[in-house]
Amino acid sequence: MYFSTALIFLLTVLDIVVYCFQKQQEEEDNAEQNNSSLSSSSDQRSIHKEDHVEGNDSSSSSSLGKHCRCFSLAEIKLATHDFDNAFVIGKGGFGKVYKGRIDLEGEGGIDVAIKRLNIDSNQGATEFCAEIEMLSKLRHSHIVSLLGYHESTRKREMILVYEYLPNGSLEDHLHKKRAHGGNFSPLTWIQRLRICLDAAHGLDYLHTGTGVECRVIHLDVKSSNILLDKNWAGKIADFGLSRTGPAHQSCTTNVYTNQIKGTFGYMDAQYFATHRLTRKSDVYAFGVVLFEVLCGRPALDFTLDEKQYSLAVWELIAWKKAPYINLGEVSTHCVKKFAQIAYKCLLWNPKDRPTMTEVVALLELLLALTLQNNSRVTIAEKARSLFTIKFPVPSNLKKKAIKKEEQPTTVAEGGSKFSIPVAGNPKKQAAEDGSTSDHHGGAARVFTKKELKRATKNSDENRIIGKGRYATVYKGVLSDKRIVAIKKSILFNGTKSQIEQFINEVVILSQINHRNLVKLIGYCLETKVPYLVYEFISNGTLYDHIHNKSRSLALTWDIRLRIATEIAGALSYVHSAASVPIIHSDIMPTNILVDDNYVAKVSDFGVTMPTPMDPDKLSTIVRGTQGYTDPEYFLFQTSRLTDKSDVYSFGVVLAELLSGKQALGFDGPVNERDLGMLFPSSLREGRLSQVLDERLLLNEGIIPDDIINVSRLAERCLRLKGDERPTMKEVAMELEGILIVKEKSVARVEEREEEDRS
C-alpha cells in the first residue's frame, strides 16, 4: 500500500514537472519566434501560419493558415443573396450575421458567416479594425478564423467574413429553446466539459502562447462568444473589444483603459473599479461561463429574486448550496470539483484567481476523473485527480437593491439637426426645494452659428476656460453683454452615444430649475459639432478648491459645510423633480462649479439618466467615473443605476471635503487608495483624525462635533448596500440641520465677543 501511494505521488510530481517544462519551452519557442519576426514582415507572416494549433478539431477550418482576403461587395452580396433576411443567423451590437456560401481561391464554395456592421450601431470602425488586426495574427483550433473582410469608402460598409460554425453558440444551447430555426437538445455533461476545456485552451493561447509580440486580453468572454463547430468543439469569437499587453510581462500585467467596456454580468469588478485591465479579467468572465454551464441559467436574470439577479454574485454567496443542472450521468463529486474551479475564477482579488493555464490543467483533471469509469485515463491522470483546492471566502460580497426601469428617451435624428423634446414646466416647482424662476425665459434658446462665433471671437484659444476628452469650454460674451460659458463638442461624429449625451443635457436642463444647478441658456446645431451655452460660473470647480493647495486655503470648514448642503439640496431636487427620478450618474468635484460667493452649482448632465434603462438591453459601456461609481453597480453589473448611486458618489465628494484627499490615489498602500473604502473604515476603526484634513482639527487634534456628525453621514452614504444608504432628501435635511446648528453656534460666539469688547 505504501509503495502504491509513493508511486502515485512520484508520478504526479513528475507529471507536473513535465507539464510546466512544456509550457516554459512553448513560451521560449514563442519568444524566439518573436525575435525572428522583427527581421521582416514576410517572416512574421510565416510564423502566423505555423502558430500553435491543438485540440480535437485542428483541421476544422482548412483556411487556418491563409491570410485575410479583401472581398468585393459583389462577392458578399452574391453569398448572402443581397443580404436577404432569410439568411440571418444572428444579431448583435455590431449588426446582423448572415450565413453565406463563398468561393475561396483553390477551395471552391464553402459555408461562411458574414457579419455586417449596422451604421447606426454603437460599435464601429474601431472594433472593425481591431477584429481584423487581432484575428489576422491568431491561429488556433479553438479561435474562430477570420477569412476576410470588405470595407467600402467612407466606411459605409464594413463586413467581416468568418468560418461558419453550424452548431451556433454555447449560449444558444444553454438558454434558448429554439435558435436559428432549430431545436437544441440539452448538452450532455461530457459535451459541456469538453466545450469549456476547448474555450479554456483558446483563452490560454491568447494569454500565453500567441507567438506574437504581445499577449491578448479578450475583454468580452461570454457564452454567446463561444461558438461550436460541427464536431461540437468550442471556439472563442468576437475580438472587437480585445486589448493587448507586453508578452514579456506576467499574467497580472495591467492595461489602463479610459473607458470601461465589456458585458454586464461577466465584467470583472476589479477592472470596473480601477480601470486596470488584466488577463485575470478574462478568467473572471470565464468563471461566469462555467457557472452558466453548471446552472443552466444566464449571467443576468431579472425574473429571479434580487439576490439572484447576478449569477456571479449569487454563486459567490451560495455556491455550495446553489441548484445545479441534473444530467443524470455526472457524479456529485465531479459537479463539486467543477464548481470549485468556477468559484476560484470569481474571487475578488485577481491574484487569488488561477491563470488560464491552471484552469486548463484543472479541467483536464476533471475530464480525466469523469472518464475514469471508461478506463481512458493514465495512472498519472488518476494521481492528478487527487488534488484538492482550498478556497477562501471573500468578505466583500454584496447584494443590490434594484428598481424596475424603462427605456431611455429616444430622439429623432434628421440631417444635421435633431428633434429635441423639451418637456415640463421649469416654473412649476419654483416654490419647492429651492427652485428659482430666473431661467432667462425657461426653455433653452436656439443660437445661430454667427452669434456663437462672435461670442467666442471665432473660438479664440485665449477664451478657453476648460478642456476635456469630449468638449472644450469657452468664455463667451453675448450681444446683450451677458457673459456665458460655451461648450463645444470634440470628435462629434454622429455616434449614438454622443448624440444621447448631447440630447440628455438639453432635455434634462430644460426641465429642471434650481439655484444650485448650472443653468442651460441655449444650444446651436448649425455647426459641424453642437454647442451648448450655460450661465458663466466664475470661480472654477470644487476640485480646484479642494486639491489645489493655493486655493484650498480659502476653503474653510464653514464654506465646505455650506457647499455640501447646497449640493445635497440640488441632488434631492433632481431626484424628485419628475415622475421618474433623474439620476445624475457622474457626481464628482470636477462637475461641481463654485461662484465668487462660494455658492455650489452642479453641472454636466451629459450621462444623466432622464428615464431608466430598458432591462433587456445591457450596455457594454459603463456610466460614471472611477472612484465615484456605486460599488453595487459594478458588483452586480446590471447596467442599472439608481438614485442611491448618486448618494454613494456624493458620499465620496463629502469624504473629499472632509479629508482633502482625492477619490483615488496610487501612491499609498493598496487598501488606502480608494477613499470611498478608506474613509468609512477609518471612522469605524477610530482612526478618523488620521484621514481628516488637519486644518479642520482643533488644538491637540480634537475633532469638532459637527465634523464628526458629517463624517458619520458620509459613512452611511458610502455603505456598499444601496438600501442601507439614506436618500438624498434625508442627506440634505441632515446637513441643513448641522449647518443651522453651526451657524447659531457661530452667531452666539460672535455675540459674546461683541459683549466682551463693549
User: What are 318's three cell numbers?
Assistant: 451560495
Question: What is the per-residue DSSP string for 740-758?
Answer: HHHHHHHHHHHHHHHHHH-
Q: Determine the 3-state secondary structure of 720 from DSSP.
A: coil
CA distances to 60, 201, 234, 238, 609 from 55, in Å: 10, 8, 10, 20, 47
Residues catalogued as catalytic: 586
**Number of Cβ atoms within 10 Å of the Cβ of 647:** 25
Question: Is 115 labelled a binding residue?
Answer: yes
Q: What single DSSP character describes residue 408? A: P
The number of helix segments (H) and strand segments (E) in the chain equals 23, 24
Do β-strands 234-236 and 276-277 pair in parallel, antiparallel, or remain unpaired?
unpaired
Question: What is the per-residue DSSP string for 180-210?
Answer: TTEE-PPPPHHHHHHHHHHHHHHHHHHHH--
How far apart (Å, rounded) are the C-alpha atoms in residues 584 and 582?
6
How far apart (Å, rounded) are the C-alpha atoms in residues 359 and 283?
9
Q: Where are the strands (E) in 371-529, listed by range?
A: 413-414, 417-418, 445-446, 464-467, 471-477, 483-489, 520-524
How far apart (Å, rounded) are the C-alpha atoms in residues 29 and 336?
37
Helices 2-37 + 189-208 axis angle, to 10: 50
* Sequence-distant (≥ 6) Cβ neighbours of residue 755 within 8 angstroms: none
Question: How many residues in the chain?
Answer: 758
Distance in Å from the first CA to the final CA of the chain: 101
* Sequence-distant (≥ 6) Cβ neighbours of residue 276 within 8 angstroms: 254, 255, 256, 270
* H/E segment holding residue 117: strand 108-117
CA distances to 2, 571, 604, 648 from 608, in Å: 69, 12, 8, 15
- Closest alpha carbon to 502 in 622, 621, 606, 613: 606
> What are the φ and ψ backbone dihedral angles of 585, each rounded to 5 degrees?
80, -10
**Each residue of 156-190: b (16+ CB within 10 Å) or e?**
eebbbbbbbbebbbbbbbbbeeebeeeebeebebe
Q: Where are the strands (E) in 490-639, listed by range?
A: 520-524, 531-535, 592-594, 600-602
Binding residues: 115, 488
Binding residues for ATP: 115, 488
